[in-house]
C-alpha cells in the first residue's frame, strides 16, 4: 500500500495502519502516514540488555589483561562489526587486537544470556496488538543471531517475527542503514513503508539514512529529533492508529 494523506477517516485494509504525526520538527514529519511493517531494535528496546552489555566490558577486557576505559560502553552502544572494532581501536590503539577484545566480550555475553533477560514493560501487549492488525514485524539488531534467537525463544516471542537480521548478516553496522533495509526486504516491503522502533542514536541515524520513519523510545539524548518520540513502548499503539 502506498503512503497517503487522509482528509477524512476511511477504513483501512488489513495489514495497514495509519501513524499519527507528532508535533515538532522531527525529520519526515507528515500529517498522516501509512505503515505496513514495523522493524524493532532489540537491546535496550525490547529487552533491558543495554545496561547488561555495559557491564560485560570490564570482565571481557580483564580476561585479556586490559583495564576498562571510561566511555567505551557508551561509544559502543548499538554498534557491531567493523564499526565496533574501530571504536575499540580508538580506545586501545590501532595496534590492539580488536577481534580478540570483541570475541572476549561475546564470550561473557553468551554466558550471561543463557537465562531469560529482563523484558521491557508493554512489549507483549504491543506485539500482540501489531499481530492482531496483521502488521509484519522484524528484528534488526547489532547482536549476534544466536543471542537474538535466544532472547526471543526464552520469552516465547519468536513466532511474532517474519525476519531476524543480526549484525553478522550485514557488512556495515548502524548507523549504516543496511540492517534495516535488509529487514524490510525480508518481510517484502520497501524501507519507506516501515517504521523503525529504536532507543539508540546509531539506530536513529540508520533509519533516517534508509529513508524510514523512526520512533525513539526512552530518554537518551539524540543527535536530531526523530519522527516520533515516546517514553516507553506502551505509547506506540496510541501513535499507530
**CB neighbourhood size of 24 (10 A):** 11
**Arithmetic mean of pLDDT, 188-199:** 97
Residue with grid cell 519522527, as numbered in its chain: 227
**Arithmetic mean of pLDDT, 17-33:** 51
- Are 40 and 55 in contact, with CB atoms under 8 Å apart? no
d(CA 221, CA 121): 21
Beta bridge mates, 43: 47
* Residue 10 confidence (pLDDT): 47
56: Cβ–Cβ under 8 A, 6 or more apart, which residues?
105, 108, 109, 112
Split at pLDDT 50, 70, 90, the class of 24 is very low
- Are 155 and 118 in contact, with CB atoms under 8 Å apart? no
- Are 214 and 198 in contact, with CB atoms under 8 Å apart? yes
**Arithmetic mean of pLDDT, 40-65:** 94
- Are 126 and 233 in contact, with CB atoms under 8 Å apart? yes
Rounded to two decimals, the pTM is 0.79
Determine how β-strand 32-35 pairs with β-strand 37-40: unpaired
Split at pLDDT 50, 70, 90, the class of 17 is low
* Residue 1 confidence (pLDDT): 32
Residue 12 has pLDDT above 70, yes or no: no
d(CA 30, CA 50): 31
Task: Report the chain's mean pLDDT, rounded to a whole number.
Answer: 87
**Arithmetic mean of pLDDT, 176-190:** 97
**CB neighbourhood size of 193 (10 A):** 20
Backbone angles phi, psi at 119, to 5 degrees: -100, 145
Terminal-residue alpha carbon distance, the chain: 16
* Residue 239 confidence (pLDDT): 78
Residue 15 has pLDDT above 50, yes or no: yes
Amino acid at each position: 500500500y502506498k503512503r497517503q494523506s487522509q482528509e477524512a477517516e476511511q477504513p483501512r485494509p488489513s495489514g495497514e495502519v495509519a501513524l499519527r504525526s507528532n508535533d515538532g520538527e522531527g525529520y519526515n514529519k507528515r500529517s498522516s502516514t501509512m505503515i505496513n511493517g514495523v522493524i524493532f531494535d532489540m537491546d535496550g528496546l525490547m529487552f533491558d540488555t543495554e545496561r547488561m552489555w555495559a557491564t560485560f566490558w570490564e570482565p571481557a577486557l580483564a580476561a585479556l589483561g586490559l583495564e576498562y576505559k571510561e566511555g567505551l560502553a557508551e561509544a559502543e552502544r548499538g554498534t557491531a562489526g567493523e564499526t565496533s572494532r574501530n571504536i575499540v581501536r580508538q580506545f586501545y590503539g590501532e595496534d590492539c587486537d580488536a577481534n580478540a577484545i570483541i570475541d572476549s566480550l561475546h564470550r561473557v555475553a553468551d554466558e550471561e544470556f543463557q537465562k531469560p533477560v529482563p523484558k521491557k514493560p508493554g512489549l507483549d501487549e504491543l506485539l500482540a496488538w501489531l499481530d492482531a492488525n496483521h502488521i509484519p514485524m522484524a528484528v534488526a539488531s547489532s547482536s549476534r543471531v544466536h543471542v537474538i534467537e535466544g532472547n526471543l525463544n526464552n520469552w516465547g516471542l519468536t513466532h511474532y517475527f517474519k525476519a531476524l537480521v543480526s549484525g553478522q548478516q550485514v557488512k556495515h553496522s548502524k548507523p549504516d542503514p543496511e540492517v534495516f533495509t535488509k529487514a524490510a526486504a525480508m518481510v517484502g516491503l520497501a524501507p519507506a513503508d516501515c517504521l523503525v522502533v529504536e532507543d539508540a542514536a546509531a539506530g536513529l541515524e540508520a533509519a533516517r539514512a534508509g529513508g524510514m520513519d523512526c520512533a525513539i523510545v526512552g530518554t537518551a539524548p539524540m543527535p536530531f529529533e526523530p519522527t516520533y518520540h515516546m517514553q516507553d513502548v506502551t505509547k506506540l499503539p496510541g501513535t499507530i492508529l
